[in-house]
Structure 1
Amino acid sequence: MRIGAFLPAAGFPGRDHTTTLEAAARAAEAAERAGFDDVWFAEHHFMSYGVCPSAVAMAAFVLGRTRRVRVGTAVSVLSTAHPVALAEQANLLDQVSGGRFRLGVGRGGPWVDLEVFGTGLERYERGFGESLEVLLEALRGGPMRADGAVFGFREVEVVPGPRTLPHPEVVVAATSEPTLALAAGAGLPVMLGLHQDGAAQAAMLGRYGELRAEAGGGPVGGHVAAAVAHVADSRGQARKVLLEALPRWLGPGLEGYVPVDGRPRPQRDPDAYARFLCDAHAVGSAEDCAAVLRGRAEETGADALMLLVEGAGEEAAVLENIARLGEEVLPLVRGGA
C-alpha cells in the first residue's frame, strides 16, 4: 500500500499566489520527511480552487528538491494539452528523476479552458480516447505517426525515450463510465476522486473489473483512491478545523468551474460538501484516521491512497498535519495495528 499526499495548491482567501505555491512546495518536502511514498499535484486553470496551472512543471520543481518520494500529476488535463508534448515532458522527467515521476491524466470538464486553449468541446467529449492512444504511443519513444480524426502528422522520432519501460507509469482519473471503459480497455489503472466515499469508489473499481474482463484483459494493479486526511487529538477537534476552513476554500474555489457553452454551472453547497468530506474520509484521531484508511484500502482494493492534507488552510497547520500523519497514522495503516 503506497500512501501519497495530494497538494492542489488550494487558493484559500487571504493568501497570495506566491504564498500558496511556496507552501505547496514546502508541504511536498515535508511529506517526504514524514515518510509518504508519493506526492501528487493538481492542475487547474483560471480559478482559486487550485492555483497551479501546470502539474508537470510543479512536479519537476519538487523532483529537484526531493530525493526519495515519487511525484505525480493528479491530473494533467489531456483535453487541453497535446498528447505528444505531454509525453515528451513526462519522459524527460522520468529520465532526470531516475523514474520517480508518475503521470496522471484526466478528461477534465466542459470548462472555459477548452475555449482559451483552442481545443474545444470536441476534444473533451469525443477526442479523449484518441488523445490517450497518442499519448501512450508517444510515451514509448522512438518513431511514431498519427492518422486519427483529431491528430494527424507524419512520422517523427519522439525523444527522449522513457527510462521506465515500456513507459512511465500512467493513471487515468475516472469519474464516468466512458472514461472508466477507456482506461479498462487500455489496461491502465484509475484514480478515484474525493467526491466519492469508500462504497462509491469500490463500486467504480468493481465496474472497472467488469469492463476489463469484457475487453478481454486480465487484472490491473496500481489503482489510486483519494481521501481527505486530517488528524487531531479527537474526531471533534479534527472536524472543527476542517468545517471552519474547507468552506472558505470550497466556496469561491468551486465557482471557478465555468462552462464553455450554455450548460448550467455546477452547483455544490460548500458547507454541505465540507460535512460530506469529513464524514466520508479520514478525519479524527490517529486511530480514527488509520481505521478509515485501512478500511478504504480493504473496501476498494486500491493499491495506493492519495490524501488531501491541505484542508486546514494555514501553512503551519498543514505542516503539523503532515508530520502527525507520518508519525502517528501511517505506521498504523502500514502495520495494520
Structure 2
Amino acid sequence: MGILSGTEFYAWHFMPFSNLPEDVKDRDSLWVDLPNDLFDPEVGHKLYTRYISELVLAEKLGFDGLCVNEHHGTAYSMMPVPSIIAAALIPQTSRAKICVMGTPPAIEYPHRLAETYAMLDVMSGGRLEIAVPLGTPMEYWLNPINPVTARERQAEAVEVMLKAWSPGSPHRHTGRFYNYRYLNVWPRPFQKPHPKIYFVGSGSPETIELAAKYGFGYSSTFSPIATQLAAQQRLRELAAEYGHEIRPDQTPMTVQVHIAETDEQAVAEMEPHARLFFDVLLRAGRFTDVPGYLTLAQFRKRNGQVLPASHGKFDWEGVRKTHRIIAGSPMTVAHAVEKWAEDARTTRVIFQVHLGDMPHWKVVRTLTYLGEEVIPYLRSRAQVSADDGPAALAS
C-alpha cells in the first residue's frame, strides 16, 4: 500500500557549530556552560551561508517545506533566534512553507512572539508554519523562568498569542503571568486567523492535551517510534473529546536520513556524523536535571530520565532499530519512509538532512537523491493509491 495522497516533504536543518576542538568530547555537557570562546565567528559566518544555501536548494529540488528550530547556549544549534533564519530564507524562496520549530513561548513575551510570527507570515505571503515547544530542560538554565511554572506559562502564552491574532483588536488579557491592556498585533497574520500550529515534545501528556484542546497538530521528536505512535494516537482520542478531528498532516514524522549509491556506503558514511550528533552534541550532563520541569507522575514514569536515552549516548544499532533513522540507497530509503508514513497515518514527512559535522557534499547528495528519486517515487505511489485503487496496487 502506498503512502497517503497529498503527502508533503520537508527538509529540517539544525545548523550546528561543528568546528570544535577534539577535547570537547571529554566534557560532561555541550550545553549551557560551553565557553563561547570556542565559537569562531568567521567559521560561523561561512556555516550560516552554507546551511541556508542547503535549505534553499531543497526548495529548488521540490521539497514542500523547510524547518528551522531554536536552542540556546550550545554548539548543537546556531539558531537561538530561528525567526531570523526564517526571515533570511523568505526572500530566497518562493514556494516552500517555512516552519519555525520553534520559540518556547514560556521563555518569551507572547505578544512580541505573536508580532514576530505575524511579520514572517506577511513577509512570506502566508507560507509560515509554527511549532510550539516547551523547550528542553537546558533552556531553563539559560532563561530566568521557573521550570515549575513552565507548563502553566506555556498554556497562557498560547492563549495570549491566539487572542492577539483574533479579529476585533485591541483585546485585553489579565492572567497569572501576563497582563495586557492593549493586545494589538500590527501587522496581523497573512493567513486567517493565523498560521498552522503544531506542538512538539517528547510525549508528555500535558503537551498532548494542550494540542488536543485547540485541535492543533503534535509531533514528538527524537522519541522511539512506538512512543511517537502512542502519543499521536492519544492526540486523536483527546482531540475527539474536545470536538476536533486530527488530520493526517497534523501528525508529522521526522526521519534522519543519508543516501548513497549502496546501503553499505550510506551506513559507513553516516555513522561518524551520527556518532558526533548523538554522543557529543546531544550530551547535556547535569543540565538535564531541572526540578519541576516534569510533573511528578511523569518523573516517576520515566524513572527520573527527563530526556530520551539517545541523548548523549551513541548506540548505532540500537537507535536504528527503535527510531526513524535510515541510511541506504534511494530505494531502501523510499521503502522505509513509505512503511513508516503508512504506520503513522501521516501526510507530513520531515527529513533531517544534516547530522553532526556532515560535509556539504554529503548533504547536497542526499537532498538531490531525495528530490529527484525518493520523493517522486513516493508521490507516484501515493497517486496510485488514491486514484487507481487496490487493483493497481496489486499489480
User: So what's the TM-score if we normalise by structure 1?
Assistant: 0.91
Query: Is 2:94 the partner of 1:50?
Result: no
Residue aligning to 1:120: 146
Residue aligning to 1:174: 201
* Corresponding residue to 2:232 among 189, 205, 210: 205
Aligned partners of 2:97 and 2:259: how far apart in 1? 23
- Give the 3-state SS of the residue equivalent to 1:46 in structure 2: coil
1:115 Cα deviation from its structure 2 partner: 4.6
* Corresponding residue to 1:271 among 291, 314, 317: 314
- Give the 3-state SS of the residue equivalent to 1:206 in structure 2: helix
The letter of the residue matching 1:270 is K
Residues 41 and 58 in structure 1, CA contact (< 8 A), matched pair in contact too: yes
- Give the 3-state SS of the residue equivalent to 1:270 in structure 2: coil
Aligned partners of 2:372 and 2:324: how far apart in 1? 23
My pick for the range that moved more, 54-63 or 275-284, is 275-284
Query: Is 2:55 the partner of 1:17?
Result: no
Fraction of identical pairs, as percent = 23
Aligned partners of 1:239 and 1:167: how far apart in 2? 41
Aligned partners of 1:146 and 1:40: how far apart in 2? 31
1:303 Cα deviation from its structure 2 partner: 2.2
Within 5 Å, give how 1:1-337 maps onto structure 2.
1-14=7-20, 16-111=43-138, 113-140=139-166, 142-175=169-202, 176-197=204-225, 199-223=226-250, 224-256=252-284, 258-259=287-288, 261=290, 268-272=311-315, 276-277=319-320, 280-311=324-355, 313-336=358-381
CA 1:4/1:274 → structure 2, altered by over 3 Å: closer, same or farther?
A: farther
Aligned partners of 1:269 and 1:105: how far apart in 2? 24
1:282 Cα deviation from its structure 2 partner: 3.1
My pick for the range that moved more, 57-66 or 207-216, is 207-216
In structure 1, stretches of 5+ residues that fail to align are: none
The letter of the residue matching 1:6 is W
Aligned partners of 1:256 and 1:250: how far apart in 2? 11
CA 1:261/1:304 → structure 2, altered by over 3 Å: closer, same or farther?
A: closer
- Give the 3-state SS of the residue equivalent to 1:283 in structure 2: strand
1:10 Cα deviation from its structure 2 partner: 2.3
Aligned partners of 2:179 and 2:148: how far apart in 1? 16
CA 1:139/1:235 → structure 2, altered by over 3 Å: closer, same or farther?
A: farther
Residues 11 and 249 in structure 1, CA contact (< 8 A), matched pair in contact too: no
Residues 209 and 238 in structure 2, CA contact (< 8 A), matched pair in contact too: yes
Residues 10 and 249 in structure 1, CA contact (< 8 A), matched pair in contact too: no
1:159 Cα deviation from its structure 2 partner: 1.1
- Give the 3-state SS of the residue equivalent to 2:84 in structure 1: helix
Residues 284 and 312 in structure 2, CA contact (< 8 A), matched pair in contact too: no
Residue aligning to 2:37: none
Aligned partners of 1:329 and 1:40: how far apart in 2? 19
CA 1:264/1:192 → structure 2, altered by over 3 Å: closer, same or farther?
A: closer
1:208 Cα deviation from its structure 2 partner: 0.7
CA 1:305/1:134 → structure 2, altered by over 3 Å: closer, same or farther?
A: same
1:146 Cα deviation from its structure 2 partner: 1.3
Residues 213 and 239 in structure 2, CA contact (< 8 A), matched pair in contact too: yes
- Give the 3-state SS of the residue equivalent to 2:367 in structure 1: helix
Residues 202 and 301 in structure 1, CA contact (< 8 A), matched pair in contact too: no
CA 1:186/1:264 → structure 2, altered by over 3 Å: closer, same or farther?
A: closer
Can you list the C-alpha shifts for 1:39-59, whole angstroms capped at 9, x where unaligned?
A: 000111001111111111111
Aligned partners of 1:261 and 1:200: how far apart in 2? 22
- Give the 3-state SS of the residue equivalent to 2:223 in structure 1: coil
- Give the 3-state SS of the residue equivalent to 1:222 in structure 2: helix
Residues 243 and 275 in structure 1, CA contact (< 8 A), matched pair in contact too: no
1:31 Cα deviation from its structure 2 partner: 0.4
For the aligned residue pairs, the C-alpha RMSD in angstroms reads: 2.3
Aligned partners of 1:128 and 1:277: how far apart in 2? 33
Can you list the C-alpha shifts for 1:74-129, whole angstroms capped at 9, x where unaligned?
A: 22222211211111011111112111111111111232x33533222144243221
Aligned partners of 1:91 and 1:48: how far apart in 2? 29
- Give the 3-state SS of the residue equivalent to 1:98 in structure 2: coil
Residues 248 and 348 in structure 2, CA contact (< 8 A), matched pair in contact too: no
CA 1:281/1:52 → structure 2, altered by over 3 Å: closer, same or farther?
A: same
The letter of the residue matching 1:247 is R
User: So what's the TM-score if we normalise by structure 2?
Assistant: 0.78
The letter of the residue matching 1:34 is L
- Give the 3-state SS of the residue equivalent to 2:249 in structure 1: coil
